[in-house]
Amino acid sequence: MIKIDINGEIVDGGSTTFNINKSLFNIQSAVYKTRPDIKCILHIQTPSTTAISSLKCGLLQISREYK
């Protein structure tokens, strides 16, 4: 996992050797700028998440934690 700030600067590179996708981050940063209540955005592209996301019910938020 790579942690980046709102400006796209790497805060924690983690243990991966992958880079961030700047064009995708531009979309996600727009969400952060318009929704300051959102604390995390995950972008996952695996066959399993794609399949579940295409179901009528989609991905269900079954757990929340507020601080």
pLDDT at 9 over 60: yes
Q: Is residue 62 part of a domain?
A: no
pLDDT at 34 over 70: yes
Q: Is residue 48 part of a domain?
A: yes
Comparison of pLDDT for 32 and 65, the residue scoring more: 32
12 strand-pairing partners? 3
Q: What is the largest CA-CA distance in the chain?
A: 36
Q: Is residue 47 part of a domain?
A: yes
How far is the CA of 46 from the CAs of 49, 50, 53, 59, 61, in angstroms? Answer: 5, 6, 11, 13, 18
Kindly state the average pLDDT of the residues 53-61.
Answer: 77
Q: Is residue 23 part of a domain?
A: yes
Kindly state the average pLDDT of the residues 57-67.
Answer: 62
Domain that holds residue 21: 3-53
Predicted structure pTM score: 0.46
Q: Is residue 65 part of a domain?
A: no
Domain count for the chain, please give it. Answer: 1
